[in-house]
Amino acid sequence: MPQGCIGSRTAEVLVVGGGHAGCEAALACARLGKDTLLVTGAIDRIAAMSCNPAIGGVGKGHLVKELDALGGEMARVADDTGIHFRTLNESRGPAVRATRCQSDLERYRAAMASVVQHTPGVRVRQDDVVALLVEHERVAGVRTAGGEELRARRVILTTGTFLGGTLHRGPHTWPGGRAGESPAAGLSASLAAHGVTLGRLKTGTCPRLDVRSVDLARLPEQRPDTPAPRFSVESGPPPLAQVSCRLTRTTTATHEVIRHAVQRGSAPLFNGQIGGRGPRYCPSIEDKVVRFADKDSHLIFLEPHGLDSHELYPNGLSTSLPEAVQLAFLRTIPGLEAVEVTRWGYAVEYDYVLPTQLDASLELRALPGLFCAGQINGTTGYEEAAVQGLLAGINAARSLDGAAAVVLRRDQAYAGVLVDDLVLRGTDEPYRMFTSRAEHRLLLREDNVSARLGELSDAVGLASAARRDRMRAFEDAVRARLAALAATRVEPALANPVLERAGGAPLREASTMLQLARRPELEVACWWEIEGAKGDARVDQRVQVELRYQGYIERAHKDLARDRALDETPVPDAMWSAPPPGLSHEVKEKLARLRPRTLGQASRISGVTPAALGLLAVELRRRGAVAP
Amino acid sequence: MSFDLLRVDTIVALATAEAPAALAVVRVSGPRADNVRHAVFVPRRPPQRHFVATRGDLLDERGRPLDDCVCIAWPDRHSYTGEASFELSLHGSPVLARAAVRAVVARGCRLAEPGELTLRAVLTGRLDLTAAEAVDDVIRARSEAAARAAGRALRGGLALAVHEPRAAIVDALADIEARLDFPDEELGDLALAAHLPRLDAAHDALLRLLRTSAWGARLRDGARVVLYGPPNAGKSTLLNALAGEERALVHHEPGTTRDALEIELELGGARVTLVDVAGVRPLDEAGAVERLGIARADQERARADVVVALVPADAPDALAALHALGGDVLVLSKADLGPPSAIAPDVHLVSAREHVGLDALRLAIERRLAPPDAADEAVLMRERQVASVSGAAEALASARAAIDDHAAGELVASELRRAGRALDGLLGKDVSSDVLEAVFARFCIGK
């Protein structure tokens, strides 16, 4: 390590951006022992939640738990600053069951920023980065607006919506990364100058409302779950007071106002002002009204910004309509008849790096040493950003040590699905995680995250020993419980009263608890009743899933065996410079561009047939590379 | 897509062309090769030794003799592929070869991907492929042949035939997935019952398609129509009359036809191989050579697409004898020798010599060879297509069972996805992205 030359303008890793990706990246690098400099346009805005004050959700809660297992920070901070926790999909099956919370937005920001600033090895600096320094075809640092050169052997770009950002509201268009902050100018041109291809995306946010002008008492309440579900294995009960959200809905009058504005040509989304592609699953309210004209009402969640805040986030009302239209349609919504707006909704267009230019470690192939994470890679969502920041940080740090990159498998983590989708398939709309993106969904559950990632986490060594011990202890407890269930004999006299009440067939002869536990009609509470003692609910629920899903899980594992063999067969990069003869021109071109690292990655590129894959395997063998 | 680089599966491939020839060679390789061999091949003089060409009986998936063949087995590390393997040299009928492949598959093997046996040789280090081009040639030859055989029209038809079943799967999945991924949206309660008629229809359509596979094989290789009956029943005369040429040696001496005689002709636009076999009679009445012929006749009958049974009209109790013989088409032959003592509506009265009743007989055979209902849309001609469609049908049935059990949506989705992926293999599509498209097209989702 070049300790000697580290000064204020030099670091081992430079992180550009202080959002959810940047924070995780900087923390990971520093905790893995790398001198890390985080450069942000506004230190006060580190870890700001630009959009809704919430973390988690279906697919996203899974990501946050995976991040926790690998040593990320988001889960802990969310647990500490959450004011409303829920488990979604409680009744739809354990694989899609997911944790979500409302965050106290300001407390979240402050808590995360505090961790970043107090973690040894992280230095924070406020500056505008305008260009990359490239030497010997590798990234060597960045140049600031003031002309200063900040040097580092690894640079992680986490520019969010700031890269060439343009904001839109009504007829107005102005440069910005988000409301009140200027964009990262110049960096796009610098990336392009070094051969990086950029695309343009669009997203938007809702107006914020003054809670004192809203008639909350009239509106139905959505209460948090008790006890509160947690993201991190380390967290205890939530320290903050837990509050409710409120529900309301748009009316035909709302839609009339919006439709009228669209017809007048004052909607930037429809009058040609915005060209970037927005997320289909996070449409603006004008989008919903136009595209689903037959629906005369849409559900709106009124989410508090925080315990000390007077602002509400009306989830479902993302818009870039003019201010007057925003106010007019808001006031047609029950409970909002006299609403006052604190901040206006707007849309933002920004540049992103086509993620197929990255390899699976999130490093840009064209510029070794340069990593990208978060919205710059075409994703949307705090969770998607954070987990990429974590992985980019881990991999940047490991590459300095000459260690192999951490690449998660698709059957191992949603984070693996995310990165694999991005680097192999790319995206032309903001990419959000859905559980339906995971072909091995039944294996990727919140409840088994420590089984999926515990060993890897030990190897990476980023998560604290305490966190890893907890995960190991949990898995040990699950194994012990399974063994105990198998070893416990149950007499019919003991079990039958419980079975009868649960509507199950009675026992005729003695059985084991394991046999009983497999019965679908017996909930965990029934096990305890038969056993005469209350067990650990988390452990038993996990055991129950394993037992009930055994058949499906076994089949999934069988389907996996071959995919996994492919994923474990590395392909040297040199292969793509001189691919084997016999491949079609189209496949050759794709492989040369995407440069998959394993045969498994190659197999997921569209157009790569089994025959083409066979050729690659043969060529691998011929070149003396390791083949199974 | 999957490729078995760990060489987990035992694989089977037809090593010779799928066309009539003197011999057909089926090659099996992989960890379970020895077990599979013991299950499908019974040597004449056990025990069978490695490296030695051994004569014996090949058994079909139900353990019935399929062919008299030669088998050579190699131990691990000493075969072409470098794995435990064996080869079966069969009589060269494509139908027989495919039946042999099916028998081996039934014992736990998988059909090899094109070029996969060669790939194994490379992976085990057995074959020092200084050039991957050789494998490339193999692969290309195979896929061109495949392309030729399938034919553009036929592929179009197949895509069309599975389009609606796949659309039914995608739509049901979209309904389930939208609710799983967007629980806070007001999508209403999931009413899987509404999808059941369409999913059941999809399942039926796939089963119907599966039933075309036998016909698909016939379409490619021609059907085998076997003339079967006692000696001197006039089988050879009938063969000649149907074929319109003197082909079989006709003699009044019973047992003239000792070996099977084959002749190809067009019947109702389809290629048909008409097989004339030795006359069958109780073995104790037959000589040694004739017995071989009778055994061969029984084999031919077992693998025939249509069995035409013949008994001379003037034989004692001819009708009863004919019914005892059994077959797809029943014929009282030599009608010119005199009227039979009894006749039944399902029996054809034919005089080959006088050309009486031949047209009706031709029609009866054609009807037996007529395609099943679904075949006017699509026909499954390849074992791999059959595997895809039957995999999809099986997964659909499993999804149906999960729905009936009120299983969690994620389990139903998991089975439907399996069904969709099986069809994807046929069409080269991606069910995952289609489901997301359907979700966003149909539901107003997102906040």
Q: What is the mean pLDDT of each run of 10 residues along chain A (628 residues)?
A: 55 97 98 98 95 96 98 98 96 93 98 97 96 96 95 97 94 91 91 95 95 96 96 96 96 96 88 78 88 89 96 95 96 97 96 95 96 97 98 98 95 96 91 91 95 97 97 97 94 91 90 90 90 91 91 78 77 83 74 85 75 74 58
Tokens of B194: 């509404």
CA distance A392 to chain B (A): 27
Q: Identify the CATH assignment for B152-211+378-442 out of 1.20.120.430, 3.40.50.10260, 3.10.20.30, 3.30.540.10.
A: 1.20.120.430
Which residues of A are less than 8 Å from B192 in CB distance?
none
In a domain, A577, yes or no: yes
Sort strands A10-16 and A149-157 into parallel, antiparallel or unpaired: parallel
Tell me the sheet residues that pair with A87. Answer: A99
- Using CA coordinates, name the residue in chain B closest to A61: B181
CA distance B3 to chain A (A): 6
Q: What CATH topology corresponds to B11-150?
A: Gyrase A; domain 2 (3.30.1360)
Interface of A with B in 162-181 (CB under 8 A): none
Q: Closest partner residue to A299 among B180, B186, B439, by Cβ?
A: B186
Tally of structural domains, chain A: 2
Nearest to A407 by CA among A431, A427, A391: A391
Q: Which of A519, A553, A587 is the last residue of a domain?
A: A553
Q: Which of A553, A578, A612 is the last residue of a domain?
A: A553
Q: Closest partner residue to B143 among A291, A580, A611, by Cβ?
A: A611
Say whether A566 and B3 touch across the interface (CB within 8 A). Answer: yes
Nearest to A332 by CA among A259, A223, A264: A259
Tell me the sheet residues that pair with A488. Answer: none
Tokens of B277: 């076999």
What is the distance, to the nearest Å, from the Cα of residue A486 to the centroid of all Cα atoms in its chain? 38
Measured between alpha carbons, how far is B337 from A507 in angstroms, rounded to an integer? 75
Q: In chain A, how many H helices and how many E strands?
A: 21, 22
Interface of B with A in 160-179 (CB under 8 A): 173, 177, 179
**Which of A447, A618, A619 to probe by mutation at the B interface, max B CB count within 10 Å?**
A618
Is the CB of residue A304 less than 8 Å from the CB of residue A245? yes
Say whether B180 and A569 touch across the interface (CB within 8 A). Answer: no
Measured between alpha carbons, how far is A467 from A272 in angstroms, rounded to an integer? 50
Whole-number pLDDT of residue A479: 96
What strands, in cross-sheet order, belong to the sheet with A346-353?
A172-175, A166-169, A346-353, A198-205
pLDDT tens profile A200-258: 999 999 999 999 999 999 999 999 999 999 999 999 999 999 999 999 999 999 999 99
Widest CA span in chain A: 84
Measured between alpha carbons, how far is B233 from B386 in angstroms, rounded to an integer? 39
Q: Closest partner residue to A315 among B113, B444, B447, by Cβ?
A: B447
Measured between alpha carbons, how far is A11 from A7 in angstroms, rounded to an integer? 7
pTM above 0.90, yes or no: no
CA distance A13 to chain B (A): 37
Domain B218-369 class in CATH: alpha beta
Measured between alpha carbons, how far is B29 from B9 in angstroms, rounded to an integer? 9
Helix (H) or strand (E) holding A587: helix A585-594
CB contact A59 to B (< 8 Å): yes
Which residues of B are less than 8 Å from A606 in CB distance?
430
Q: Closest partner residue to B181 among A58, A318, A552, by Cβ?
A: A58
Q: How many other C-beta atoms are found inside a 10 Å radius of the C-beta of residue A347?
A: 25
Half-sphere exposure of B85 (CA within 13 A, CB side): 24
What is the distance, to the nearest Å, from the Cα of residue B218 to the centroid of all Cα atoms in its chain? 9
Measured between alpha carbons, how far is B274 from B238 in angstroms, rounded to an integer? 10
CA distance A205 to chain B (A): 10
Q: Closest partner residue to A614 among B6, B135, B181, by Cβ?
A: B135
Say whether B2 and A552 touch across the interface (CB within 8 A). Answer: no
Residue A374 DSSP symbol: G
Cα→Cα distances B192→A91, A246, B168, B180, Å: 16, 30, 12, 13
Tokens of A394: 């881990």
Interface of A with B in 311-330 (CB under 8 A): 315-316, 318
CB contact A439 to B (< 8 Å): yes
Measured between alpha carbons, how far is B319 from B325 in angstroms, rounded to an integer? 10
- Residue range(s) occupied by CATH 3.40.50.300 in chain B: 218-369
Is the CB of residue B379 less than 8 Å from the CB of residue B218? no
A610: domain CATH number is 1.10.150.570
In a domain, A115, yes or no: no
How many beta-carbon contacts under 8 Å exist across A and B? 172
What strands, in cross-sheet order, belong to the sheet with B347-349?
B261-267, B270-276, B223-228, B306-312, B329-333, B347-349
Nearest to B12 by CA among B102, B91, B124: B102
Measured between alpha carbons, how far is A33 from B201 in angstroms, rounded to an integer? 61
Measured between alpha carbons, how far is A154 from A371 in angstroms, rounded to an integer? 8
Sequence-separated (6 or more) residues with CB below 8 Å from residue B155? none
ipTM score above 0.95? no
Q: Which of A521, A553, A585 is the last residue of a domain?
A: A553
Positions of chain B with pLDDT under 70: 1-6, 114-115, 122-123, 125-157, 215-222, 245-260, 268-271, 370-379, 381-384, 425-431, 433, 436, 440-447
Q: Give the domain extent around A611.
A: 568-622
Say whether A617 and B115 touch across the interface (CB within 8 A). Answer: no
What is the distance, to the nearest Å, from the Cα of residue A154 to the centroid of all Cα atoms in its chain? 23
User: Within this chain, do residues A505 and A583 fall inside the same structural domain, yes or no?
Assistant: no
Say whether A580 and B132 touch across the interface (CB within 8 A). Answer: yes
In a domain, A389, yes or no: no
CB contact A552 to B (< 8 Å): yes
Q: Closest partner residue to A562 among B8, B132, B445, by Cβ?
A: B8
Measured between alpha carbons, how far is A290 from A319 in angstroms, rounded to an integer? 13
As a whole number of Å, the CA-based R_g of chain A is 26
Place of tokens 């069978």: B48
Say whether A291 and B439 touch across the interface (CB within 8 A). Answer: no
Interface of A with B in 554-593 (CB under 8 A): 556, 561-563, 565-566, 569, 580-582
Sort strands B110-111 and B11-14 into parallel, antiparallel or unpaired: parallel
In a domain, A206, yes or no: no
Q: Closest partner residue to B410 among A92, A315, A318, by Cβ?
A: A92
| Number of residues that make up chain B | 447
Say whether A96 and B409 touch across the interface (CB within 8 A). Answer: yes
Sequence-separated (6 or more) residues with CB below 8 Å from residue B434? B170, B420
Cα-based angle A436, A597, A353 (whole degrees, multiple of 5): 65
User: Within this chain, do residues A469 and A547 fall inside the same structural domain, yes or no?
Assistant: yes
Nearest to A231 by CA among A109, A110, A78: A78
Is the CB of residue A468 less than 8 Å from the CB of residue A457? yes
First-to-last alpha carbon distance for chain A, in angstroms, is 36
Interface of A with B in 8-47 (CB under 8 A): none
In a domain, A479, yes or no: yes
In a domain, A588, yes or no: yes
Is the CB of residue A55 less than 8 Å from the CB of residue A384? no
Place of tokens 């494509």: B94
- Is the bond into A628 cis (omega within 30 degrees of 0)? no
Is the CB of residue B92 less than 8 Å from the CB of residue B24? yes
CB contact B132 to A (< 8 Å): yes
Is the CB of residue A406 less than 8 Å from the CB of residue A458? no
Whole-number pLDDT of residue B368: 80
Which residues of B are less than 8 Å from A93 in CB distance?
180, 408-411
The helix-helix angle for B431-442 and B409-427 (nearest 10°) equals: 120
Sort strands B223-228 and B306-312 into parallel, antiparallel or unpaired: parallel
Measured between alpha carbons, how far is B80 from A169 in angstroms, rounded to an integer? 70
Tokens of B272: 């048909």
Nearest to B107 by CA among B211, B217, B214, B11: B11
- Residue range(s) occupied by CATH 1.20.120.430 in chain B: 152-211+378-442
Cα→Cα distances B416→A414, A559, B171, B393, B413, Å: 21, 15, 10, 10, 5
Q: Closest partner residue to B2 among A291, A562, A608, by Cβ?
A: A562
CB contact A88 to B (< 8 Å): yes
CA distance A76 to chain B (A): 24
- Residue range(s) occupied by CATH 3.30.1360.120 in chain B: 11-150
Q: How many other C-beta atoms are found inside a 10 Å radius of the C-beta of residue B437?
A: 13
Interface of A with B in 252-271 (CB under 8 A): none
Which residues of A are less than 8 Å from B123 in CB distance?
617, 621, 627-628
Interface of A with B in 449-478 (CB under 8 A): none
Place of tokens 């840009």: A364
Cα-based angle A38, A41, A46 (whole degrees, multiple of 5): 65
Q: How many other C-beta atoms are found inside a 10 Å radius of the C-beta of residue A379?
A: 26
